[in-house]
């Protein structure tokens, strides 16, 4: 069995608290044309380096019925700055156009097979996976990016076309698994601040 969710598989459900004081699950997005779930955090330079590109993409497709949900599953034991309190402060400071939820148990991250921050999953109206991987090809220095895979996948989907490149490798820091269980830590850790 593959570690990460496969193309065509259905989005695993969740019930997670958000920085806006609400709790969200998949049913909260049932009226949307599509859903982007992405694993993110507060500190990773690949996240912070590409935040504004992600914002542009989210705003562009929001009007077309695509919702964005950012999930922070990083262990607060490994990175205290990934706490819910810091998430709230980050949203207050940045006013990102997505729901930002906390996966304390890391069960949702495991269900999706999240590998990195950021790691994007694009689901169609039936919540079937149509794209997974990176947002852009240089998330740490977004001004040097030449490819926006997330934008392309969403554009193709919205225009009724099959996603031409449904799978890319996410680029970023490893998800910080609690206890650093090696089974859940593919690749090298990225402890850049």
Q: What residues contact 2, with CB distance under 8 A and at least 6 apart?
A: 113
Give yes or no for a contact between 67 and 57, defined as CB atoms under 8 angstroms apart.
no
What is the 8-class DSSP label of residue 122?
A: E
Q: What is the pTM of this model?
A: 0.93
* pLDDT tens string 63-96: 999 999 999 999 999 889 999 999 999 999 999 9
Q: Which of 170, 186, 174 is nearest to 50 (CA)?
A: 170
Give yes or no for a contact between 37 and 112, defined as CB atoms under 8 angstroms apart.
yes
pLDDT tens track of the chain, all 193 residues?
458 899 999 999 999 999 999 999 999 999 999 999 999 999 999 999 999 999 999 999 999 999 999 999 999 998 899 999 999 999 999 999 999 999 999 999 999 999 999 999 999 999 999 999 999 999 999 999 999 999 999 999 999 999 999 999 999 999 999 986 433 333 434 544 3
Using CA atoms, how far residue 173 sits from 35, 48, 54, 75, in Å, is 23, 11, 17, 13
């Amino acid at each position: 069995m593959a570690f990460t969710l496969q193309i065509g598989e259905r989005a695993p459900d969740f019930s997670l608290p958000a920085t806006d004081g609400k709790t969200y699950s998949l049913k909260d997005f049932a009226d949307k044309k599509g859903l982007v779930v992405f694993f993110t955090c507060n500190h990773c330079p690949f996240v912070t380096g590409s935040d504004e590109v992600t914002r542009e993409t989210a705003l562009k497709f929001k009007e077309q019925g695509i919702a964005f949900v950012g999930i922070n599953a990083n262990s607060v034991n490994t990175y205290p700055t990934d706490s819910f309190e810091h998430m709230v402060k980050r949203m207050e400071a940045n006013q990102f156009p997505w729901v930002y939820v906390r996966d304390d148990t890391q069960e949702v991250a495991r269900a999706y097979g999240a590998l990195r921050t950021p790691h994007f999953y694009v689901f169609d109206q039936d919540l079937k996976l149509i794209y997974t991987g990176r947002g852009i090809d240089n998330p740490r220095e977004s001004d040097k990016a030449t490819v926006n895979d997330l934008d392309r996948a969403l554009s193709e989907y919205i225009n009724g076309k099959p996603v031409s490149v449904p799978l890319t490798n996410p680029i970023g820091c490893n998800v910080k698994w609690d206890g650093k269980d090696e089974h859940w830590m593919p690749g090298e850790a990225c402890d850049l601040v």
